[in-house]
């Protein structure tokens, strides 16, 4: 089950469509969907999580806490809509495109994709782009 939660004024306008898309990504990656919670928040909220839980004193667009067991995906994905908005401007894409990229990025981590090395980051970006093209 995929749920969307809000700690700021942001609200997805198409929760059902996004949820269905995420479910299709999970199935396509041969994984099983369990409880996945998205939490949309601001920079301050996510920064506090980054400091408290990861000991990183930096801003970020996404933090995911993965509780998956094998291919059964479950976890909490926190997304700063402020960071997404700034990144969209920097990358010269729409807010919606960047938001969808970050949403699928979190799920791809749960599916086993990493992005620490250049090769891993390229593979992650290729997967993100593939799935962004499936969202109609």
- This prediction has a pTM of 0.94
| 101 Cβ neighbours under 8 A, 6+ residues apart | 128, 132
13 in Cβ contact with 55 (< 8 Å) = no
Architecture of the structural domain at 2-132: 3-Layer(aba) Sandwich (3.40)
**Mean pLDDT on 5-19:** 96
CA atoms in the 13 A half-sphere facing the CB of 127: 23
DSSP letter assigned to residue 69: B
Percent of the chain with pLDDT over 70: 99
Q: Where are the domains of the chain?
A: 2-132
**105 assigned binding-site residue:** yes
The CA distance from 133 to 101, in Å, is: 10
Annotated binding-site residue? 109: yes
pLDDT digits (tens, 9 = 90+) for 20-73: 999 999 999 999 999 999 999 999 999 999 999 988 898 999 999 999 999 999
How much is the mean pLDDT over the chain? 96
Compute the distance between CA of residue 124 and CA of residue 69 in angstroms, rounded to an integer: 21
Angle between helices 95-110 and 81-91 (to 10 degrees): 110
Is residue 136's pLDDT more than 80?
no
Average pLDDT over residues 109-129: 96
pLDDT at 83 over 80: yes
> Is 100 annotated to bind ligand?
no
Per-residue confidence (pLDDT) for residue 55, from 0 to 100: 87
Kindly state the percentage of the chain with pLDDT values over 90.
Answer: 93
Residue 29 pLDDT:
98
């Amino acid at each position: 089950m995929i749920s969307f939660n809000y700690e700021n004024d942001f609200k997805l306008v198409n929760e059902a469509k996004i949820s269905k898309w995420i479910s299709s990504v999970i199935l396509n990656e041969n994984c099983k969907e369990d409880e996945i919670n998205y939490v949309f928040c601001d920079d301050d909220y996510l920064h506090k999580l980054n400091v408290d839980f990861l000991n990183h004193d930096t801003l970020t667009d996404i933090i995911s806490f993965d509780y998956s067991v094998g291919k059964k995906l479950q976890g909490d994905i926190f997304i700063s809509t402020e960071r997404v908005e700034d990144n969209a401007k920097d990358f010269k894409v729409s807010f919606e495109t960047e938001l969808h990229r970050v949403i699928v990025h979190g799920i791809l981590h749960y599916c086993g994709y990493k992005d620490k090395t250049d090769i891993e980051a390229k593979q992650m970006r290729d997967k993100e782009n593939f799935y962004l093209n499936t969202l109609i």
